[in-house]
Structure 1
């Protein structure tokens, strides 16, 4: 694959087309309630066929017990629960991310991919230094296309393993996904630069809303994007927001700045089942409102499709869907 710098891409791109109008949809019957999602409304615009929710977790501890259960484990959030959300949001595909509660046990993620269907699901795993080459082959066959480092909570691999594990997964064409605080991104910038894989920054880089684009992490992420192999997940807008719902105005400003700078390097995700909300750290989000908020960040139908459909097909190795069934 040939990697273009962000400036080269934007310089050769045409103008965005198709202004978007967000409006209510009174003719659409309200869907049933979805576990771990406030409200019952649907998105207020036509979500394009093929849209990918690029960040969900599946937790089924009765089938796949947590290896190191805590005193307050996250509640069960099943594939069937997520199917309800997918129908409500009218998304088509999903990326299942192994949560920290499972450490390096990716069985639940692989099972979820299989149940959602390989056409419509991919995964991001958590691995360790002791993960074997044979296990990597099995993960790839099961739909895994990246590995995640969550440095905000215990249970996963540490920053010292980012580069050595990136070198091991590079032959598979996978990416490295990092969930760090904004300060953590600055601290680990030497490690994140010039990886042999693509890099995905979780949850808008966890840049605090009250710091906004003036935080050093925003400029650092922009520089990584300009180098041509970094992506940002437009997810977790409720994390680090002091303004709060429904608009999360402080963090929305950061999201809009990223979209304006490099729409070709953005993907979007719900972060369902919103485990931080289950723990009472933030109010439970309304996922349809989060979709509408994303549409406001994107601003037009072309950019919406680029971020929801085209970019994830590239990053996660989805086959393009050419016709609505």
Structure 2
């Protein structure tokens, strides 16, 4: 099917100074929408124009080469757009994180794996957009552990703290979205921090340095990012969160998310690890 020709809701060019990225730099968190492929539920405008073709323009302008496509909420458990985007962006350079319900068949999981899916996401931080429930996490984690997949958790610090026992006993790798949403500091920050850092110390947890705008901005998120960098730099990946759906209708320039990474990680060797080596390990590039 021919991809739509609309442009994404940002220009590839930005006001941020371009900085060369290492070869095979990976954007570990993007969303692709394609209402031509999935007529219903259709992504709301302007997200409908955020296709693989549109992302490729942004990716190339920033000097990125690899990507991880995360099935967005409007597509519920229909992962066809994610699988299609993996093919369009290049199967050798792209992986996916899908969304499934507990009744998913073993054959469908195998099909998703063959298509490049390497994890499943549980977005429960935003109640009105959530299509999965916390009680689905553990049963599905047991299902996908043998595939070598991970569970990706988009939770608030309160939810992380309240479900600490469950998160710590999950049999597979756990990836925490958007710095665990742990900044600015909240009443449950310390409890959530203990859960995240315990999984990091075990070598079975990862954190995405992404979504700084969900934590009040680059400076507000800096203390959490710095703690993570001190604790487990080998367990961190970066993602742009393109096309920044929580920030619609006025999304930030995607280059600003790379600027956040540079602010938190001034050392170029460590940035290369976060952009290249770590995602290669986590996603199997």
With the length of structure 2 as denominator, give the TM-score of the two structures: 0.90
* 2:223 matched residue in structure 1: 253
Of 284, 296, 315 in structure 1, the residue corresponding to residue 251 of structure 2 is: 284
Correspondence 1:314 to 2:281:
yes
CA contact (8 A) 1:181 1:206 kept: yes
* 2:37 matched residue in structure 1: 63
State how many pairs are aligned: 277
Trace 1:44-193 onto structure 2 (pairs within 5 A): 44-67=18-41, 74-153=47-126, 154-193=129-168
State the Cα distance separating 1:44 from its structure 2 match: 3.7
SS of the residue 1:209 aligns to: coil
Distance in 2, matches of 1:47 and 1:290, equals 14
Q: Deviations over 1:52-80 (max 9, x none)?
A: 1000000111321244x698884331111
Distance in 2, matches of 1:107 and 1:302, equals 36
Name the CA shift for 1:192/1:44 in 2 (closer, same or farther; >3 Å). same
SS of the residue 1:238 aligns to: helix
Q: Deviations over 1:229-273 (max 9, x none)?
A: 0000000010031xx4xxx21112211221122110000000000
Of 145, 167, 174 in structure 2, the residue corresponding to residue 199 of structure 1 is: 174
CA contact (8 A) 1:38 1:284 kept: no
State the Cα distance separating 1:298 from its structure 2 match: 1.7
With the length of structure 1 as denominator, give the TM-score of the two structures: 0.79
Q: Which has the higher relative contact order, 1 or 2, with Cα contacts under 8 A spaced 6 or more apart? A: 1
Of 251, 255, 260 in structure 2, the residue corresponding to residue 293 of structure 1 is: 260
**Worse-matched range after superposition: 194-203 or 287-296:** 287-296
* 1:322 matched residue in structure 2: none
Distance in 1, matches of 2:271 and 2:122, equals 28
Larger radius of gyration: 1
Q: Deviations over 1:122-155 (max 9, x none)?
A: 0000011121011001000000000000112444
Unaligned runs of 5+ in 1: 1-32, 319-325
Distance in 2, matches of 1:202 and 1:187, equals 17
Of 251, 265, 284 in structure 1, the residue corresponding to residue 235 of structure 2 is: 265
Of 187, 206, 228 in structure 2, the residue corresponding to residue 231 of structure 1 is: 206
Compare the two structures and name the one with the higher helix fraction: 2
Distance in 2, matches of 1:174 and 1:42, equals 35
SS of the residue 1:86 aligns to: helix
Q: Deviations over 1:80-130 (max 9, x none)?
A: 110111011101100000011111100000000011111110000001112
Name the CA shift for 1:100/1:73 in 2 (closer, same or farther; >3 Å). farther
State the Cα distance separating 1:38 from its structure 2 match: 8.3
CA contact (8 A) 2:68 2:94 kept: yes
SS of the residue 1:124 aligns to: strand
Q: Deviations over 1:260-290 (max 9, x none)?
A: 2211000000000001111x4xx52222222
CA contact (8 A) 1:103 1:155 kept: no
